[in-house]
Each structure stands twice: as structure tokens, then as C-alpha cells.
Structure 1
């Protein structure tokens, strides 16, 4: 039986799944004393809904041909994906202690050749959606019912290759492709909204021929509804969900400091962050 959407019927709530993902990410960050923890905490709700509501997969067989594909275009978010792969049972939880170390299956930037469940090697931003288009087209030609999900960043909306992929997906009528955009309004050189005429993102995607939604990415009810709408729409082409997320969500003292693309956590703050998160653990 697929272990993805089928497992949503278990007694573990999506709220607790998201909390577990945040906790695992913090534990890995503490091992190395660094990591893109702000993004991991912010995207945890979307990952929880992805792996425990939307995706079809088999934890014991990550390469099962019938699986939905989940592509991490933003390779530096690997710490977040490792956390959900552990939560899903694809990676053993005890491996968190090897994060970022020599010979680890969990390098600091995601690499498909190292990690079960990691579909592509991310890193050079703007490439993920193009790969997703190729995968979705291949699955269509094999008459597979599987979906391709591509998680990308708001900064990647400034890459020309992204918009070439946007047009290609419409040309091929890829109704099995769902793009997920993490809009936390941070990129390496500043805010995306201060660069390249950002704004009205959903309308731009719609103008290209995509079914587009924009929701609060830290509101699990809204996230789940958006996933359902994306899969169930009769729109004849690709779908996109733009998620507005809060960096460092769930750890208030990190949320409240001035946020940049890379959130620095001091050595004594990892334990403090875990303690704050523990106080907000869902029942």
C-alpha cells in the first residue's frame, strides 16, 4: 500500500508531523552548528502536507515506479527535506547525527546520488522546474497516473530558465505537474520583491496558462485545501501553488530578529530553540 496519502488516516496529525519536521531540522542544525534553518522551519507545514496528505510513495521502496515525484529545486533546503524523509520513514531517524559529515547520506546541499528519496541534485537555482517538465512529460508518455511536484524558491522566479520551463509545461499540457513556490521574500542578495519587478505572482502564472493559487504556507488547513484543489482541478495544464511562509516559524526569538537569507544561530541558541519549540508541541 502506498505510504503517502494512505498514512494520513493514521492518528498522527499534520500539525504534529510539521512539528516533528521542525524538531528534526533543529537537531541536524545543532550537529553542524549551521544550516538553512530559517527556511526549514518556514516550509515545514508545506512538507508535512506534501508527504502526509498529497504524495503517493512507498517508504520501503523510494524508487517505486508508481510514486509521485517530489523535486527539491532549492538544494540548500536539503536539511528540511531530510527531516521529512526521516519523518516518512525513508531515512532512519538516527542518521541525523551524520548530517553534513564526510560520507554522510545527507550532505548540506541535496544530492540525488547520496540520499534515498532525493529525486534531483539541486543547487544551481532555476533548474528544478525544467527537470520537472521533462519528468512530467515522460510520465505522461508512459501513461502513468503519477504527479510531479517541484518545490522552488521565490528567488528562482528571477531566473530566465524558470520561465522557459513555465512556457514549456503549458505547451505540453502537463496537468500532472504541480509547482510549489516558497515565498519567504528572502534571497542571497536581498528581498525578491525589491528585484526584477516581483509582484502579482499568481496573475503572472495564470497569464502563462497555469492554474494558480496563493495561500498562507503556515496555515495547514489552507495548505491542504490548495493541494486538493491543484490535483482535482479540471484545468487542462500545469498547476502552481505560491506559499507565503514565515522564516523561522515556530521559534519566536528567531522569528523576531532581523531576517536575512541565512539565519545565523549562535552555539548556545540551538538548545534554546528546541526548548521553545517543545513548548508549542501540538497535542
Structure 2
């Protein structure tokens, strides 16, 4: 896909996230929208995968460590063809295959159960080691939140991945600056994140994680290797794509108030039309 086509796909996915919130009555909106450009780029531009054969052994893996952003993953997987779009309408129902945090046993395309923060990077590192042991050229990607970095298990995994020279592993940190209790800088600042990761032995790229051209450029650079794992520090806006939710901690977990759903739908539809008129 071109950059414009990827932007349009991400905008459509944002709309699907809003509809899931509408069906379920609530959901972790803010982080899903900040991360959706990266997740779209991965599944439509980067990952070697076969949606019709989700267990293909030579596929690249993506682990959503920040599992509460699962609505973004569900929307993108549905658009990618892992399951029918109408499955998204079950979000929030009693027997849904779309729980609040991803479940690898209920949905194709989900590589690991996540949501207890701090585990995804270690799982991804294990997958990367396993691929190398079996001479499998699969690459492994994982997405963490900046608030998640306060979990010490992440730093054990950062150290282990560098020690084992896992050049087939990429960690993307969705740095939207907010977590459920407020700004990450005031709760547990982990900055400067790029310098800390370099000190742990990682290659590091810092980008605007809501700029699709920068996202695919950084993800493309991870093919180079150098015998070190690669980290992408993606600076994003929480709630990106819905003006009243952008940068607002109240939309970490959203229970729509009267009129908010219609306003969100209108803004996202306008963005999709804009991209279509631009040739996407």
C-alpha cells in the first residue's frame, strides 16, 4: 500500500474502534487510537503473514503487549482478512471472541494472551530466540505503552534481548504520554526512553508514531540487523483522530456521553473522505 492508502486504512480502523465502543458501551479508546497507525502499518505493509493460514510457521509475529489496546488490533485483523468484519459487532457481548484483552485461543491472528502489562516483550523475545534456534527467518514485533515501562519485567527483557543479540526482534513503544491515572511524567517518568534503551544495547529510532510515512520508514529500517534488537520510540497522541479525545486522559477508557459517538463518527468519516479525494 501507498502511504495514503495506509492512512485511509488506519482511518477506517479508527471508525471500527468507535463502533466497537458503541456496541460494548465502553472501551479503552485512547491507546487504541494512538497505536492504530503502527498496527495498520505492520499488518498491511511489513509483516510476512497469511491471514488464510494464521498458523503458517514462517510468518512474522506481532505481540500486542499493551493488551488493553486490543480494539485496534481487532479492527486491523478484521480489515486484513483474518475474520469477517461483522464479528466486530459482538464486542462487549457475553460470548464474544473479542475480549477486552486479546485471547490467542479465541481469535486467529492473536499471537499471545496479553493485558497483564510487562509480559509482551519477554514473550516476543522468547519467540525471537525460538525462531533463531529453528533457523526460521521470521521476525518478531511487539508494541508496549510508555506507562507499561514502569513494570520491571520489561527491563529484564530489554537486557536479555540485547545480551542474546536478537536482531530479529523489534519493540515499538507507544509513547502517548498518558495512562489511566494521568500523565506518565507525573506518575512514573521513564524518560529519557531512547537513551535508556541505547544504554541497554538496543538500536533506537525515534519517530512521530501518527505520521504514517515515518512509521513505515522506521519499520523498514529494522531489516538491517547489526546484531542488536531494534526499538522504535513512537511519539503519539492519545485518542488520535477524534478531536475531543486527543491528549485527554478521560478517554483512556471511554464511556460515550450523549452526542459523542455521532461527533466521533462524523470526524472520522470526514477524514476518510479527505483521503479518498486525495487519491487513497
Residue 159 of structure 1 pairs with residue 151 of structure 2: yes
Which whole-Å CA distance do the structure 2 matches of 1:124 and 1:267 have between them? 32
CA-atom RMSD in angstroms = 1.7
Is the CA contact (8 Å cut-off) linking 2:239 and 2:251 kept in structure 1? no
Which whole-Å CA distance do the structure 2 matches of 1:144 and 1:102 have between them? 39
1:40 to 9, 26, 32: 32
Pairwise CA distance, 1:260? 5.5
Q: Which residue does 2:208 correspond to in 1?
A: 216
Residue 244 of structure 1 pairs with residue 235 of structure 2: yes
Residue 265 of structure 1 pairs with residue 265 of structure 2: no
Q: Which residue does 1:58 correspond to in 2?
A: 50
Which whole-Å CA distance do the structure 1 matches of 2:251 and 2:91 have between them? 23
SS in 2 for 1:252: coil
Which whole-Å CA distance do the structure 2 matches of 1:264 and 1:69 have between them? 32
Residue 202 of structure 1 pairs with residue 189 of structure 2: no
SS in 2 for 1:242: strand
Which whole-Å CA distance do the structure 2 matches of 1:41 and 1:105 have between them? 21
Is the CA contact (8 Å cut-off) linking 1:26 and 1:270 kept in structure 2? yes
Q: Which residue does 2:271 correspond to in 1?
A: 280
Which whole-Å CA distance do the structure 2 matches of 1:200 and 1:164 have between them? 18
Structure 2: gaps of 5 or more residues? none
Q: TM-score, normalised by structure 1?
A: 0.92
Is the CA contact (8 Å cut-off) linking 2:46 and 2:219 kept in structure 1? yes
Is the CA contact (8 Å cut-off) linking 1:190 and 1:261 kept in structure 2? no
Change (3 A) 1:92 1:12: farther
Which whole-Å CA distance do the structure 1 matches of 2:247 and 2:142 have between them? 29
Which whole-Å CA distance do the structure 1 matches of 2:13 and 2:253 have between them? 19
Q: Where does structure 1 differ by over 6 angstroms across 4 or more consecutive aligned residues? A: none
Is the CA contact (8 Å cut-off) linking 1:39 and 1:247 kept in structure 2? yes
Q: TM-score, normalised by structure 2?
A: 0.93
Pairwise CA distance, 1:46? 0.9
Change (3 A) 1:256 1:209: closer
Pairwise CA distance, 1:257? 5.1
1:138 to 121, 130, 145: 130
Pairwise CA distance, 1:63? 1.0
Which whole-Å CA distance do the structure 2 matches of 1:197 and 1:186 have between them? 11
2:65 to 51, 73, 85: 73
Is the CA contact (8 Å cut-off) linking 1:33 and 1:267 kept in structure 2? no
Is the CA contact (8 Å cut-off) linking 2:28 and 2:251 kept in structure 1? no
Q: Which residue does 1:5 correspond to in 2?
A: none
Is the CA contact (8 Å cut-off) linking 1:51 and 1:84 kept in structure 2? yes
Which whole-Å CA distance do the structure 2 matches of 1:227 and 1:12 have between them? 17
Pairwise CA distance, 1:259? 4.5
For CA contacts below 8 A with separation 6 or more, give which structure has more relative contact order. Answer: 2
